[in-house]
Amino acid sequence: MNHAKATERIPSHDRAVVQTDVGPVKGNVLKGYRLFQGIPYAAAPAGELRWQSPQPVKAWTNLFDATKPGNLCPQESAIYSGVASLTEDCLNLNVTVPNSLDNKKLKPVMVWLHGGGGFNGAGSLYNARRSAVDGDVMVVTINFRLGIFSGFAYDGLQGSGTFGLQDQQAALQWVKRNAAAFGGDPNNVTLFGESIGAVSVAAHLVSPAAKGLFHRAAIQSGFPLMDVPTGTLYPNVPFLFPSLAWMTKEEGKVMGSQAATDLGCNDPKTALLCMRKLPVKALLAKSPQFTRFEFGNNVLPEDPVQALRGGRFHRVPVINGGTRDEARLFVALFFDLAGQPVTERAYPDMLKKAFGAAADKIEVEYSLDDYATPSIAWASVVTDRLWSLRTMQLNEYFAKHVPTYAYEFADRNAPAVTPFPEGFPPGAFHSSELAYQFDIADTAINFSKAQRQLAKQMNRYWANFAHSGNPNDEHSPRWKKFDTNAVIPFVLSLAPGEGGIGPVNYSDEHRLDFWRSIKADDRVAMLNILNKELVHM
């Protein structure tokens, strides 16, 4: 595809024009920053290139128009915007860099991996002007293959289940080659992401192929260690556990073969050829099933859970954390808004289905008498068991080997940019911190003065971390390293108002000692249950 959208001559000293390694691009010079959008970093993964490793984009000589967003990767409805996309020509990125090019010093680069469940979202939905200008950093937001276009696996398919991760690594290679041309330092790159984007950050931490491509990492509401007991995040869905993030080669083969059969590609000898000829729209119906990453390959040679536990990851400083009320978003969307609110009658049965013999203890610990509604009680169970317990484990794994800074976003009145049922308090829900870091899909947010101050402080911490690997400065509340030997390991609470930023007893707040006492609730037991369920599915 010819990516040159214009035939302008390149004016000298035009701050809107940058020469990349494959051709010149022209962006927008705005108040305080420059913005370049939709720059291709790899060829369109369509036709024969569908389910292939990302290939180099063809060079161009004309001036590429980078003044407007590029295509979104295939999806039925993008998070926040609701925009659909049916084009596979979507491997593009966006660069936001402060206008202060007077000094010769290159700026730290922050590369953002978006969330969206693994089957929707786009880098262009996250305007990074505040992070870039306030933090004096260059921010790169990227698109990558999603859903079945990323995670499809099939017997004999090279790269099965890792195509989205390979795209991200190709984008990091682009940053290495081109950051300096935009004023960024290719030798000081922070990789950060949220939700499935944070899982991707964890994947690159354990991927040999990503070595040297980034120098710091920030994981926001990631779930690389999460196992998902039946019905906890989604009603009546067993196939997402024991891992929400990873799948074995055997799991990938089974899922891929079933998807091919369902889509009419029945002959194993011609199934891949058949699948590559299917229209995007037909494949999208299967996208939500392919959101996990396969291991046992060149990208992820080892089970990432075991690699993280064993300290086999790149030695870079890490920020790791999440939100105080992670699961309220999922309970609101997939239970209440889906017409299946948690009821007083259903609550005990749901606990039994999810946790077996431990259900009675959990029902006492999370008594309905202590919550406004059964749905909020259920959200507390899911937050503490699925998210907080595993987030603390991940802090412990990291802190044994690298400087680790743990946090919890705790603004329980954070503006909601996604719908919640009337009367359902969102709290500090999953993804609620993002509006404090980015302008989300051009959505107007009415922050209070205290919330604006919190946003500035958060961006300051993250930018400090990008500059030096340490989020602290002399003007900010102290953020101590996570210490596994401390009686109460330091976790920084991020909330608005006086005293809102400071240490929190994370273990007490999320009842982690209680969850650690539930001996039957471990990964081995979950795997045994899963095997029984798969036999009967």
Q: Of 203, 207, 298, 240, nearest to 117 (Cα)? A: 240
CATH architecture of the domain 17-345+384-510 equals: 3-Layer(aba) Sandwich (3.40)
Q: How far is CA 178 from CA 108, 167, 232, in A?
A: 13, 16, 44
Widest pairwise Cα distance in the chain = 73
Q: Which of 85, 160, 195, 507 is catalytic?
A: 195
Contacts of 520 (CB under 8 A, 6+ apart): 356, 357, 358
Q: Decide if 195 is catalytic.
A: yes
Q: Give, for all 537 residues of the chain, the pLDDT tens digit.
A: 445 443 343 444 578 999 999 999 999 999 999 999 999 999 999 999 999 999 999 999 999 999 999 999 999 988 888 888 999 999 999 999 998 755 679 999 999 999 999 999 999 999 999 999 999 999 999 999 999 999 999 999 999 999 999 999 999 999 999 999 999 999 999 999 999 999 999 999 999 999 999 999 999 999 999 988 888 988 876 545 568 899 999 999 999 999 999 999 999 999 999 999 999 999 999 999 999 999 999 999 999 999 999 999 999 999 999 999 999 999 999 999 999 999 999 999 999 999 999 999 999 999 999 999 999 999 999 999 999 999 999 999 999 999 999 999 999 999 988 889 999 999 999 999 999 999 998 778 899 999 999 999 999 999 999 999 999 999 999 999 999 999 999 999 999 999 999 999 999 999 999 999 986 444 434 444 444 433 332
Q: How far is CA 5 from CA 38, 65, 129, 181, in A?
A: 12, 6, 25, 21
Residue 42 tokens read as: 């790899």
Residue 14 tokens read as: 């035009």
Q: How far is CA 26 from CA 6, 8, 37, 71, 520, in A?
A: 10, 10, 9, 17, 58
